[in-house]
Structure 1
């Protein structure tokens, strides 16, 4: 049969075109395939994952990441979770070899019919190729590359390997990458604990995570969930009854809220800085490090509570500042509407603080509104603010005690009553700041660190960044230096007026007349009594005798790194330092004279569990290799055990008989000292038991007086006592260890000399070896009080 010439030409032309197409396609394939990344790299899947910081008991207290991803093996994933994603995203996943042509054609027809893109044809394998190996731009060349890579992946990897990559890599909204992070984000669960209703909701998110956000658009998310469950029924993964039950589940969208991260913020920021400095920013935020720290979470929580409640109490003593603002009409309605919306998810609970709208007053107290909740402040719960009077919304208040209707007041919820109304207490945000640091003196581990009232309001960490005058809290360092110069707790000095004259640069003569708190002088006074009652004049006399330079060097030896003023005002704490420095110095006393630098981290592991840094040599059984470091501290003895015990014993007297009396509430041996600057700008309380040392500070960032009588005992000690009472509750009460060489002698407190033990006026005093008096007061005619203006050569 002869083929007509026109048909023959057509066939030849078609064949030539087909050959050209094949050759072009082959050429394009060869050209593109040479530029593609190697699929082999997927065998070592190392995506960016979360770096996590843990407290000493294993609680997560911080997370650092660029992509919040937690990689989990397929074996951990519920089978229904895998089936849900496969049914929704790629129903032929287990049959195809990377490309699903029928799905591509079906999607193309649907898109043509809809006049836009309503369905994609990419397989799960193609999605992995695009996510991990290609850029996301929408071009035909990228789709071509995607198809080639998908085929290669199917040859190199198992289906489970591809699912492992897909389900750990996929973005599921609100910063969650991978199914585990999403399960935590939306349900605060691990994936193995998800219900069918919950996991089907997650499987509906890949198409458009923001559009189907369970937080913002739960109705849309539920519609998408219905589609996923329907697809699971069609594929035979579940029954109709299971799908119906899953749709009927009441889904509680429970956002992942880790309050520990907020509570620990000042501590973990210090850890973050160290990690960034040591490992670099990229590794910190992508390498999935595990950081084990020294923080005791329960102590940290108690420290935050103590600091905040103490600052609020201080603020109330300074008086009521009036309403936060006054709202009328639409402003008031909007205020209440926004509260109502917020309370629909998280109703007010006892102990929480809120802003409330004043609506009136009754004979019982103030009436207020919080969203749709009614509240009342009884008179006894606003008494600290003085006599308050409610006036009309249009009246002009003439004092802070006059409250117009519509006033916004800060309140604390005392009780949610059975009828839904709220018992409230009037409150206000404190203006002063506080800090608290707690160390284990035996190893230097930081157990708690609060650098301010609220990290979200101020990231300035006052524990390590605020240099403030310590006042009398510095005196124990001076007294310890004096003990090493031959002084004893029984040394008697004269507490009498002092006058120091000096000339200014202009040649003018000035006078300095130091005085004690209360402007009193006490005559012959023992060293113990002087520290117990924080006498300034005695401390200045001691410092003048031992030398300012010697005392400053001694303080540096104890852990004070800030520069010291080289004059006699050092005795009164005139050189600024940080709470951390003071806590380090006090820890030396608590630790028997051995200094350890404060430490925050005990172990750092990489994502594979290899130890990078550790305080424990046992973590490096084969020796310290490249990239590893032993961070164990070397204890350094800086003062003798005898001196450490003597100063602790002296500060026990401060607690039992002096300014540190509040610490008696611990009902155990405690050594402590108050600190107050002359102008009441800084208040301190520092002290310790054998197992824990802590320092509390209160002051204003923009320095100004704290208020009348706001001393260390009144302003700073309550936070210290509240914290320490909770922190040491499970510690065995221990005495401070007494070195064998310490001597106990009965002395006459008026002269510091020996006295018969049966003498009613004698006291038992402690002495370092060789420093106890050798003769009795009755035998000595010379006055023993040391007057530094009338010392003879023999005494000098």
Structure 2
């Protein structure tokens, strides 16, 4: 009686559970079928013909999330936005050995049953009844599809019953091939990858349509425990699972034992599997340059995502789940070299800190050593490159390494004092207003304005020097004297024009103080790159471009940037060009990046094209800057610490940042050198003249003056009108009393 009563209670419990589950299913049936139809439509969408060019694209948010892919301007995949990393593949592109591996391993009666394998369920039921939970499965592939798509996957009898109703409905509406297609595109394979195509690209660097028999068996072997059987975490276990799947295929007659052995042999050879000191090694998943593993330009991708959201082109859900194709202006080849060059420069600074820290510890100065330990940890940088003619952002690096604790994009957001990077714009104004020419002699002597005394970086004074020398050597006192003449308001108006802002809005950023001429004003690296890019762009304001177009999953256009937007002239092209020629002197002997001249002298093939630049260093060496220019790209580099610690005495933009840019520009332009700055430049109102860099006068004859600047550009009528008074012929010297 007791046993019979227990059986009745159990039967009533199960019957009640079944009834309540059926009621729940009845209420949710339409919703579930709708979700299933949406999912099938997503897959069908990838095999449908591409729409005509005039048809507008649509953002399709289906039953499953699809990552949006981001490309550089050359079509290289550089990253993804996603909640689930999935790529869809239609059934007809799936290899048959992949399908057979799944059936042999997971559901051998798949093509015989109607969604439910009652014999398998009964075997599992006997073991599960006692615990009133699912301890052993018995699920068909159809049930597994229902479980993943429609339930929260808890291990309970109620969920199993709900899964039963879903599976029967799926079988009524879809063919076996469609069910397999939906399952293999849906299921989780580990490492954040959903669907067989996504995991195939992650492990094997190719789409699922190109999987070999051995590769297919390994992927199917992951399904019971994707994390535990991952070949990257436990290769030995993954290979055991692969062999189990292949054995199952032999047992079901899908392959022969000979084919199994051949598949294993080929797999070991293809992926270089070998044992080293008791551990198995392989080349599986070794694709460090693949955006299917990492985002290749994380600071830029985060910037683009925020830009899309801010401008209202798409919303967050569309970006993360819409399977969009986002094309940007970034140039990945340049981005990679920029990252390497910046990281090398930052590593250089960290090594410097480490040497000082070691010395301080030896002397027992632990407090100061701790301060420098923090400075070393917080040393960061930025590198941004713009194509002046288009405004395209070609590189953007916002820090040493993008991580959970280092996501602040210093290229875009860090407003830092710019130091001497401001000086060329003061000289530009002097040339434009015809106050100076490159050959004008200026005073490099002590300067006192009010109660404030100003000095040069090195504490020395060169007396009378040419304006060209004053700029390339970055002398402070001549610059401040020039700023007094051109006016701070003129500088503010110029920068306002460059930024497309009202000068009134810049009064706080550019106050009416003479120290502005030493770069006490703060701008971001991207803003400084815009300033210099406008100078190179023949004086036309550069508006930054970052997005090219956005397409839907089928490649149909959703949004496109304006092509060739109108450009406004904000700088005189001749004065801008003259300033650039003066900045070429920065790389000459005696310039603030004069070390380049030594390398060029040793190797005539090194940097055989025109470059210009400007170094910058702020007070107490808190910021190091460099702006590097060619005729078709402009880069700005900044290195410093996030809490404004000193980089150390003598740690300048010329020593820290200029090598990073020179290495970068040589690597990306060695095989594709840029044209000269004068190419296509409107230079009707100019003359070229040689002048002596000591006196500013025209050399009397070749060989007399030891330091001659050849073919210097001047505004017509402003070129030197006198001969050099310092270097004379011997007979002329006799005539001087």
> Do Structure 1 and Structure 2 share a fold, with TM-score over 0.5?
yes
What pairs with 1:375-394 in structure 2 (closer than 5 Å)? none
Query: Using CA pairs below 8 Å that are at least 6 residues apart, which structure has the higher relative contact order?
Result: 2
Alpha-carbon shift at residue 168 of structure 1 (Å): 0.4
- Residue 592 of structure 2 is matched in structure 1 by 659
Q: 1:454 aligns with which of 371, 394, 401?
A: 401
Are 2:325 and 1:303 aligned? no
Alpha-carbon shift at residue 459 of structure 1 (Å): 2.2
- Residue 289 of structure 1 is matched in structure 2 by 324
Q: 1:179 aligns with which of 185, 188, 196?
A: 196
What pairs with 1:441-480 in structure 2 (closer than 5 Å)? 441-456=388-403, 458-480=406-428
Which whole-Å deviations, capped at 9, do the CAs of 1:148-196 have from their partners, x for residues lacking one? 4433333332222211111000112232211122223444443233332
Alignment check: 8 A CA contact 1:685 1:695 kept: yes
Alignment check: 8 A CA contact 2:609 2:673 kept: no
Which whole-Å deviations, capped at 9, do the CAs of 1:501-532 have from their partners, x for residues lacking one? 2xxxxxxxxx1111223333344333222212
Alpha-carbon shift at residue 575 of structure 1 (Å): 0.5
Are 2:172 and 1:158 aligned? no
Alpha-carbon shift at residue 317 of structure 1 (Å): 4.2
Are 2:141 and 1:124 aligned? yes
What pairs with 1:179-258 in structure 2 (closer than 5 Å)? 179-246=196-263, 250=268, 252=282, 254-255=284-285, 257-258=287-288
What pairs with 1:722-733 in structure 2 (closer than 5 Å)? 722-733=663-674
Alpha-carbon shift at residue 726 of structure 1 (Å): 0.9
Alignment check: 8 A CA contact 1:565 1:574 kept: no
Which whole-Å deviations, capped at 9, do the CAs of 1:39-79 have from their partners, x for residues lacking one? 54443233102222223333332222211211111122110
Are 2:627 and 1:686 aligned? yes
Are 2:438 and 1:489 aligned? yes
Which whole-Å deviations, capped at 9, do the CAs of 1:758-785 have from their partners, x for residues lacking one? 7955866655555426965799xxxxxx
Range with greater deviation from structure 2 (540-549 or 433-442): 433-442
Alignment check: 8 A CA contact 2:69 2:79 kept: yes
- Residue 299 of structure 2 is matched in structure 1 by 266
How many residue pairs get aligned? The number is 638
Alpha-carbon shift at residue 265 of structure 1 (Å): 2.4
Counterpart-to-counterpart distance in 2, 1:604 and 1:280: 13
Q: 1:593 aligns with which of 513, 536, 539?
A: 539
Taking structure 2 as the reference length, the TM-score comes to: 0.77
Taking structure 1 as the reference length, the TM-score comes to: 0.72
Are 2:639 and 1:708 aligned? no
- Residue 480 of structure 2 is matched in structure 1 by 540
- Residue 71 of structure 1 is matched in structure 2 by 88
C-alpha spacing 1:108/1:225, structure 2 compared with 1 (3 Å): farther
Which whole-Å deviations, capped at 9, do the CAs of 1:527-560 have from their partners, x for residues lacking one? 2222122221221111111111111111232349
Alignment check: 8 A CA contact 1:560 1:585 kept: no
Range with greater deviation from structure 2 (192-201 or 239-248): 239-248
C-alpha spacing 1:209/1:696, structure 2 compared with 1 (3 Å): closer
Are 2:491 and 1:551 aligned? yes
Counterpart-to-counterpart distance in 1, 2:132 and 2:703: 108
Counterpart-to-counterpart distance in 2, 1:700 and 1:141: 58
- Residue 500 of structure 1 is matched in structure 2 by 449
Alpha-carbon shift at residue 645 of structure 1 (Å): 1.0
Q: 1:575 aligns with which of 508, 514, 521?
A: 521
What SS class does the counterpart of residue 355 from structure 2 fall into?
Answer: coil
C-alpha spacing 1:166/1:186, structure 2 compared with 1 (3 Å): same
What SS class does the counterpart of residue 52 from structure 1 fall into?
Answer: strand
What SS class does the counterpart of residue 172 from structure 1 fall into?
Answer: strand
Counterpart-to-counterpart distance in 2, 1:524 and 1:580: 35
Alpha-carbon shift at residue 202 of structure 1 (Å): 2.1
Counterpart-to-counterpart distance in 2, 1:651 and 1:80: 65
Which whole-Å deviations, capped at 9, do the CAs of 1:586-632 have from their partners, x for residues lacking one? 111222112222333322222232222333xxxxxxxxxxxxxx476
Alignment check: 8 A CA contact 1:753 1:773 kept: no
- Residue 520 of structure 1 is matched in structure 2 by 460
Q: 1:648 aligns with which of 580, 583, 589?
A: 580
Counterpart-to-counterpart distance in 2, 1:496 and 1:25: 96
Name the larger-Rg structure.
1
Alpha-carbon shift at residue 572 of structure 1 (Å): 0.9
Alignment check: 8 A CA contact 2:72 2:332 kept: yes
Counterpart-to-counterpart distance in 2, 1:222 and 1:767: 71
- Residue 81 of structure 1 is matched in structure 2 by 98
Which whole-Å deviations, capped at 9, do the CAs of 1:111-135 have from their partners, x for residues lacking one? 6799985643332223223332445
Counterpart-to-counterpart distance in 1, 2:238 and 2:72: 36
What SS class does the counterpart of residue 541 from structure 1 fall into?
Answer: helix
Alpha-carbon shift at residue 571 of structure 1 (Å): 1.1
Alignment check: 8 A CA contact 1:489 1:765 kept: no
Unpaired segments ≥5 residues, structure 1 = 1-20, 324-384, 387-396, 402-427, 502-510, 616-629, 780-796
What pairs with 1:314-353 in structure 2 (closer than 5 Å)? 314-318=349-353, 320=355
What SS class does the counterpart of residue 437 from structure 1 fall into?
Answer: strand
Alpha-carbon shift at residue 477 of structure 1 (Å): 0.9
> If each structure's helix is expressed as a fraction of its own residues, which one has the higher value?
2
C-alpha spacing 1:534/1:82, structure 2 compared with 1 (3 Å): same
Counterpart-to-counterpart distance in 2, 1:313 and 1:76: 51
Which whole-Å deviations, capped at 9, do the CAs of 1:722-772 have from their partners, x for residues lacking one? 111112212235221151321224667677677867795586665555542
What SS class does the counterpart of residue 477 from structure 2 fall into?
Answer: helix
C-alpha spacing 1:773/1:157, structure 2 compared with 1 (3 Å): same
Alignment check: 8 A CA contact 2:695 2:724 kept: no
Q: CA RMSD for the aligned pairs?
A: 3.7
Are 2:387 and 1:440 aligned? yes
C-alpha spacing 1:103/1:315, structure 2 compared with 1 (3 Å): closer
Alignment check: 8 A CA contact 2:700 2:723 kept: no
Counterpart-to-counterpart distance in 2, 1:494 and 1:92: 94
Q: 2:569 aligns with which of 637, 648, 653?
A: 637
